[in-house]
């Protein structure tokens, strides 16, 4: 049996999901992990208020440091994101992100599958700039502290992984539920419904982490390459791509999550992904 990229990727996605969320016993008491490992960031989106989470969410951490009294920019988190980006680009989304895996599993629910209009792809850049970079620094309280606006108003991963489990376990938290929670629940429901019909709906429309990693796809060491001498132009790669990328025309597209579906389906083996591929000059 040929071990395809699809098999390798699914295996690694589940391993990454398990490593990111190893503290399963915390679900029982509605606690969260409080050990030293939480000063390190997960490469993918995974809420640090999820009871099982073992690492910090990079987007939450970025906002927390940028909005803190001591600092207005996080070199630590920006450095981590830069390192992950240069090494892997959006392969982080495709191979390591726990919320990405959840979206893919939801997309397996039988339903008519739709294509996303291109304009929706730009929303995530607005979300990144406004909610992650500007608001936590600009909208501060009297003590000079900003709030993590993306987590507060948008992040469906926090509502799903943290909110629902913690609210189920703590009556005191349930009493504090208000309009903000309703807004976040509405975004979560819309996101999950979107994921049923559109492949990785959240990644493509709202995820600021995907927006950051996408910027590195042009230079990332883990890359996708097409040997144009071997390509017969059958178009199967474009047809199979869930992210609606044409790997032959734009192998470095910011939307490509390096899933390898195109490489699996290519009849001539002209598409390959990895660290040591060799692009042929046309």
CA dihedral 261, 264, 267, 269 (to 10 degrees): 110
**Left, alpha or beta for 30 (phi > 0: left; psi -120 to 50: alpha)?**
left
Contact call for residue 257 and another protein (CB under 8 A): no
Contact predicate 205/117, CB 8 Å: no
Window 18-37: residues binding another protein (CB under 8 A) = 32-36
- Reading the block at residue 119, the tokens are 């304009």
Total of residues contacting another protein (CB under 8 A): 58
Provide the angle, in degrees to the nearest 10, between the axes of the packed helices 98-107 and 179-197. 60
Binds another protein (CB under 8 A): choice among 43, 148, 210, 214: 148
**Long-range residue pairs from 121-124, CB within 8 A, at least 24 positions apart, any chain:** 121/204, 121/205, 121/255, 123/205, 123/206, 124/204, 124/205, 124/206, 124/207, 124/208, 124/210, 124/211
For residue 274, what is the enclosing H or E element?
A: strand 271-274
- Quote the CA–CA distance of 21 and 15 in Å, as a whole number: 10
Window 58-87: residues binding another protein (CB under 8 A) = 60-61, 64-65, 68, 70-71, 74-80, 82-83, 85-87
Contact call for residue 184 and another protein (CB under 8 A): yes
Binding characters for another protein, 104-143, by CB under 8 A (x = yes): ----------------------------------------
Binding characters for another protein, 44-63, by CB under 8 A (x = yes): ---xxx-----xxx--xx--
Binding characters for another protein, 205-244, by CB under 8 A (x = yes): -----------x-xxxx-----------------------
| Residues lying near another protein in the complex (CB under 8 A) | 32-36, 38-39, 41, 47-49, 55-57, 60-61, 64-65, 68, 70-71, 74-80, 82-83, 85-87, 147-148, 151-152, 155, 158-159, 162-163, 166-167, 173, 176-178, 180-181, 183-185, 216, 218-221
């Amino acid at each position: 049996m040929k071990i395809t990229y699809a098999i390798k990727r699914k295996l690694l996605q589940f391993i990454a999901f398990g490593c990111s969320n190893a503290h399963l016993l915390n679900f029982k008491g509605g606690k969260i992990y409080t050990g030293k490992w939480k000063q390190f960031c997960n490469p993918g989106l995974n809420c640090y208020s999820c009871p099982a989470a073992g690492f910090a969410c990079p987007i939450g951490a970025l906002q927390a440091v940028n909005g803190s009294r001591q600092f207005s920019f996080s070199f630590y988190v920006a450095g981590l994101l830069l390192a992950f980006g240069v090494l892997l680009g959006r392969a982080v989304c495709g191979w390591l992100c726990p919320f990405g895996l959840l979206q893919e599993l939801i997309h397996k629910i039988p339903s008519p599958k739709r294509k996303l209009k291109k304009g929706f792809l730009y929303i995530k850049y607005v979300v990144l700039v406004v909610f992650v970079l500007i608001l936590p620094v600009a909208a501060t309280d009297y003590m000079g502290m900003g709030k993590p606006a993306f987590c507060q108003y948008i992040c469906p991963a926090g509502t799903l992984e943290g909110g629902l489990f913690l609210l189920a376990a703590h009556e005191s938290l349930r009493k504090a539920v208000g309009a903000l929670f309703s807004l976040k629940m509405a975004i979560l429901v819309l996101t999950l419904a979107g994921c049923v019909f559109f492949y990785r709906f959240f990644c493509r429309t709202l995820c600021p982490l995907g927006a950051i990693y996408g910027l590195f796809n042009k230079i990332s060491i883990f890359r996708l390459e097409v040997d144009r001498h071997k390509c017969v132009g059958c178009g199967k790669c474009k047809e199979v791509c869930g992210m609606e990328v044409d790997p032959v025309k734009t192998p470095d597209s910011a939307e490509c999550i390096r899933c390898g579906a195109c490489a699996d389906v290519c009849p001539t083996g002209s598409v390959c992904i990895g660290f040591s591929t060799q692009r042929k000059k046309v």
